[in-house]
Structure 1
């Protein structure tokens, strides 16, 4: 079943069971999930299972994943796909009646070390020309209901690439037209993410995003998750080494906190 809450990302997500999302992915992203530090697991989506070369492997199962019926159902679902590598994650919007959704590409660098040189040069040029370099953030997609007229608003990745520094802030103010309590909850979660990043050396979250979810119906239901680890750098043996912390990602989180506090 198509996942109707997807606002960005190349991989097409599918809704499975009642509260889960199936994401086709790469072996590298699967390995990144398996090796995530505990501090990052706490700010990332709940990954219940991974499927590596067709084999179902337990991760951090949620309550609904504990039943054998669920495992059997997942195996049957996988059989119907041509891909062999997946993440099976808890739907972060589960339990929200009317969620505002936004994907913000995080950091001042968004490309993987594994890209060809010519593609890296093209990515650098693009980043230098949009809000990635200016804010450490780029809007990659959003969907929410306009509180004034009740119309559903959809923003695309293409729109996000065209925004200048000031326009980006204006867009954020439109999306974050929520209660002060919800803004405070968002800032609190962002401060937690920032603390994790400030205390984590040798990792770079290239290509990762902040997934923002705010329920327009229930004020206390607010989430921000660090997502997408297919391009991150882990500074492993025989790979590029990145001492210190990810200053680009920290820059982006800091700017979002500033915008919310204005």
Structure 2
């Protein structure tokens, strides 16, 4: 790579004189959803990703994010400025950098970098998947897609999954956005079963922690008057590596993709109150994960009863055997 120059930043940790080191731009291996191709950026100690700059999303990170409840920032990726990537060349020998377009990229923290084996689910949130500034043709397509998928009823749709699963030949379970669109309100629970199942057991500790975080996000979103999170996604991440502390499993949830974000001060219709469509998606997630937890609790309750019954049968069978001849 000849150079990739930092052209703008609001983060004090990066100087305007910063220059990427050679081979600092690589393909991001943990992208499971979205159309824009994400790249991994080596900006020193903190791992970052770059996504093609969108004017609305850039405005969100630079300005609009400051008007959100302070605690909600814990669930939004840390913004690290904007970079311009020039003259992209292979990051490593034989591995060409696949960029759909060159130019400016928004730099965000890589939320997967703290995990050894991150299992990731990308969820498209909200009952409405279009903004006021889209063309009538695009709005019509988005409406039809919402009506044909779980977005309309549940306010949530699976956009992608990559989770570790020892029963799969490749060691992972995958689901792409087209498969996610085929899910129904009845079958979507199957996707979450697969996401949290590692081939041997269910990651119930991760489910429990994510449930707790979802309830926090719901309360914070209810405080966001006039904010519309159209086309935003929710990223769920949990640690699949069980060699560490099993009682304190690592999880993360982030709201991402703000290209169609709207506020009272933005373009288009001015809305009051919180985003009910986004809230419906969050509440549906709570119900889905709560159902999954209840399933696991029922299995735990049934298991010792079944074992006890089998042992009782064995004892009864042994007592009915005729005495051995001496």
Moved more, 246-255 or 140-149: 140-149
Aligned-partner Cα distance in 2 for 1:7–1:32: 23
**2-side partners of 1:172 and 1:149: how far apart?**
16
Matches for 1:67-106 after TM superposition, within 5 Å: 78-80=85-87, 83-106=102-125
2:29 and 2:269 map into 1 onto residues whose CA distance is 37
- Specify which of 39, 45, 60 is matched with residue 14 of structure 1: 39
Deviation at 1:230, TM superposition (A): 0.2
Tell me the distance in 2 between the aligned counterparts of 1:226 and 1:237: 20
Residue among 105, 116, 121 paired with 2:135: 116
Alignment of 1:9-48 (within 5 A): 9-17=34-42, 19-34=47-62, 35-36=64-65, 37=68, 38-48=70-80
Structure 2 residues without counterparts, runs of 5 or longer: 1-25, 89-100, 292-326
Q: Which residue of 2 aligns with 1:50?
A: 82
| Offset at residue 153 of structure 1 (A) | 1.4
Instruction: Give the distance between the partners of 1:237 and 1:90, measured in 2 at CA.
Output: 26
Is 1:27–1:85's contact at 8 Å kept on the other side of the alignment? no
Instruction: Give yes or no for contact 1:11–1:25 (8 Å, CA) kept in 2.
Output: no
Q: What is the alpha-carbon root mean square deviation over aligned residues? A: 1.8
Question: Once the 2 structures are TM-superposed, how far is the Cα of residue 40 of structure 1 from its aligned partner?
Answer: 3.5
Matches within 5 A, 1:108-257: 108-149=127-168, 151-177=171-197, 178-217=202-241, 218=244, 219=246, 220-236=249-265, 238-257=267-286
Structure with the greater alpha carbon radius of gyration = 2
Using the size of structure 2 for normalisation, the TM-score is: 0.69
Aligned length: 237
1:84 is displaced (CA, Å) by: 3.9
Q: Is the Cα–Cα contact under 8 Å of residues 103 and 209 in structure 1 kept in the other structure?
A: yes
Using CA pairs below 8 Å that are at least 6 residues apart, which structure has the higher relative contact order? 1
Report the 3-state secondary structure (helix = DSSP H, G, I; strand = E; otherwise coil) of the residue aligned with 2:236: strand
Rounded to whole Å, the distance in 2 between the matches of 1:144 and 1:213 is 9
> Which one is further off, 113-122 or 6-15?
113-122
The alignment partner of 2:260 has SS state of coil
TM-score, reference length from structure 1? 0.85
Bigger shift: residues 137-146 or 166-175: 166-175
Q: Matched residue of 1:165: which SS? A: coil
